[in-house]
């Protein structure tokens, strides 16, 4: 059922002049306050702006509507005003690949012709969308495919939240009228910021996008269903707790500074001791139960029993889960995956020390969608062309 149309008032009829074609502001990615300000700037009377922003917000984020004409609880002239000034646009899906295990990878084109990837991983009773925060990455972790691509640019909040919207479009998951949007049986129930880029080097955009995703009158994902993964940008960790409050994962990957310097070079700036200090306060400040330590298993590099023992000693006192990630290979990668037996022996030591130590099953490997395999297609093509000449 749709709400009755809003009566047309005089101030709606004195519409400002139409903006130049092509200069419309995208409403996706604006915070609630930003949306209200944009509506005022376009001629919405100030006293109505909060209510209008609430209505438009619900159309966009709760119902998935992109066309102002379909926003039927707004008066027709007001819909026209919105259409003159604004657009509601999400990244363009250039290619969609589906793995034999059901994982879906989206190659998305964003402004400037750049490309990013997002990956949807269906699981029993839930589904996780892995989203990107940057095109490329400034960091150069030696085991990561994205790390071989230079940073092209930060994504905007709209491009970050747009990835969630594209996936919901594809999954057909905009709630039908009358359906409870908080329904826990959602196909897209969790978000991980584990795609391309270092989210804490694009803090404000990531924060605003996650605030939009958490808004109860929209996509409405609980902060406990969002996990931000960082390579260890220490100064932004406390801010993440205070301003986003989501769960935190840390790309730990080594138990000595010597090895971590090589694998995760940001360690030269903030070493293991400094990182652990920052992590100790995170669960309390963000009111989350535990931190996920990601640990990629690289044959003969970081996978010994001694490493496992050092790891549990280092993290002592931090509520933690250790996620063991079998290394995912990519063309030209200088590492090999540890054997299954080695991974299990490592997991066993961590588990016996009292920590959950799940071994992550690689998903979507056949479509290069697994952790650390993402990279812009244009970049890949450019490189392979370069190799061909």
Q: Where does this chain bind ligand SAH (CB under 6 A)? A: 143-144, 194, 198, 229-231, 251, 294, 296, 325, 327-328, 371-372
Point out the catalytic residue in the list 117, 173, 294, 379.
117
Q: How far is the CB of 360 from ligand SAH (least distance, A)?
A: 8
Residue 144 marked in a binding site: yes
289 annotated as belonging to a binding site for a ligand = no
User: Which is closer to ligand SF4, CB of 158 or CB of 199?
Assistant: 199
Minimal distance in Å, beta carbon 189 to ligand SF4? Answer: 24
> Closer to ligand SAH at the Cβ: 71 or 194?
194
Closer residue to ligand SAH, CB minimum distance, 82 or 248:
248
194 binds, among ligand SF4, ligand SAH, none (CB under 5 to 8 A by kind): ligand SAH
Name the residue nearer to ligand SF4 (CB basis): 146 or 286. Answer: 146
Considering CB distances under 5 to 8 angstroms, the limit depending on partner class, which of ligand SAH, ligand SF4, none binds residue 233? none
Question: Which backbone phi and psi does 126 adopt, to 5 degrees?
Answer: -160, 180
Active site residue 117: yes
Q: How far is the CB of 150 from ligand SAH (least distance, A)?
A: 14
Give the nearest distance from C-beta 153 to ligand SF4 in angstroms: 14
For residue 148, the minimal CB distance to ligand SF4 (Å) is 8
251 belongs to an annotated ligand binding site: yes
Cα–Cα distance for residue pair 333/339, rounded to 1 Å:
17
Q: Please check if 376 is assigned to a binding site.
A: no
| Half-sphere exposure for 147 (CA within 13 Å, toward CB) | 19
Binding site for ligand SF4 (CB under 6 A): 137, 139-141, 144, 146-147, 197-198, 231, 251
- In the complex, which residue's CB is closest to ligand SAH? 372
Q: Is 371 a catalytic residue?
A: yes
130, 173, 236, 371: which one is catalytic? 371
* 54 marked ligand binding residue: no
Partner whose footprint covers residue 296, from ligand SAH, ligand SF4, none (CB < 5 to 8 Å by kind) = ligand SAH
Nearest distance from C-beta of residue 363 to ligand SAH, angstroms:
11
Pick the closer one to ligand SF4 by CB: 214 or 264: 264
> Is 197 among the annotated ligand-binding positions?
yes
3-state secondary structure the chain: CCCCCCCCCHHHHCCCCCCCCCCCEECCCCCHHHHHHHHHHCCCCHHHHHHHHHHHHHHHHHCCCCCHHHCCCCCHHHHHHHHHHEECCCCEEEEEEECCCCCEEEEEEEHHHEEEEEEEEEECCEEEEECCCEECCCCCCCCCCHHHCCCCEECCHHHHHHHHHHHHHHHCCCCCCCCCCCCCCCCCCEEEECCCCCHHHCHHHHHHHHHHHHCCCCCCCCHHHEEEEECCCHHHHHHHHHHCCCEEEEECCCCCHHHHHHHCHHHHCCCHHHHHHHHHCHHHHHCCCCEEEEEEEECCCCCCHHHHHHHHHHCCCCCEEEEEEECCCCCCCCCCECCHHHHHHHHHHHHHCCCECCECCCCCHHHCCCCCCCCCHHHHHHHHHHHHC
CA distance 299 to 327: 9
Q: Identify which of residues 312 and 325 has a Cβ nearer to ligand SAH in the complex.
A: 325
Q: Is 154 annotated as a binding residue?
A: no
Instruction: Cite the annotated binding site by residue number.
Output: 137, 141, 144, 197-198, 229, 251-253, 328
Catalytic residue list? 117, 371
Instruction: Cite the annotated binding site for [4Fe-4S] cluster by residue number.
Output: 137, 141, 144
């Amino acid at each position: 059922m749709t709400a009755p149309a809003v009566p047309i008032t005089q101030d709606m009829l004195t519409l400002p002049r139409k903006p130049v074609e092509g200069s419309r502001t995208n409403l996706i990615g604006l915070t609630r306050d930003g949306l209200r300000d944009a509506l005022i700037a376009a001629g919405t009377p100030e006293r109505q702006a909060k209510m209008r922003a609430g209505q438009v917000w619900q159309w966009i984020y709760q119902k998935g509507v992109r066309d102002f004409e379909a926003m039927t609880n707004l008066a027709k002239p007001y819909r026209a005003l919105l259409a003159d000034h604004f657009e509601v646009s999400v990244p363009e899906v250039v290619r969609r690949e589906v793995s034999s295990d059901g994982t879906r990878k989206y190659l998305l084109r964003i402004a400037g012709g750049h490309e990013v990837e997002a990956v949807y991983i269906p699981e029993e009773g839930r589904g996780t969308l892995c989203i990107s925060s940057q095109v490329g990455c400034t960091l150069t972790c030696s085991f990561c495919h994205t790390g071989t691509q230079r940073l092209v640019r930060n994504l905007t909040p709209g491009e970050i939240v747009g990835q969630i919207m594209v996936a919901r479009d594809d999954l057909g998951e905009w709630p039908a009228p009358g359906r409870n949007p908080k329904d826990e049986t959602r196909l897209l129930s969790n978000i991980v910021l584990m795609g391309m880029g270092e989210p804490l080097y694009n803090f404000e955009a990531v924060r605003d996008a996650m605030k939009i995703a958490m808004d109860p009158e929209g996509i409405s994902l609980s902060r406990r269903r969002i996990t931000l993964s960082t390579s260890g940008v220490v100064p932004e960790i406390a801010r993440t707790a205070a301003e986003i409050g989501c769960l935190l994962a840390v790309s730990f990957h080594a138990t000595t500074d010597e090895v971590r310097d090589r694998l995760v070079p940001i360690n030269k700036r903030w070493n293991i001791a400094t990182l652990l200090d920052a992590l100790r306060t995170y669960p309390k400040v963000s009111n989350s139960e535990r931190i996920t330590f990601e640990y990629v298993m690289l044959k003969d590099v970081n996978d010994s029993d001694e490493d496992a023992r050092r790891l549990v000693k280092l993290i002592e006192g931090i509520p933690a889960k250790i996620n063991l990630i079998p290394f995912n290979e990519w063309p030209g990668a200088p590492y090999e995956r540890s054997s299954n037996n080695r991974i299990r022996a490592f997991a066993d030591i961590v588990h016996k020390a009292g920590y959950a130590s799940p071994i992550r099953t690689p998903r979507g490997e056949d479509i290069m969608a697994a952790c650390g395999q993402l990279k812009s297609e244009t970049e890949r093509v450019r490189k392979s062309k370069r190799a061909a000449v």
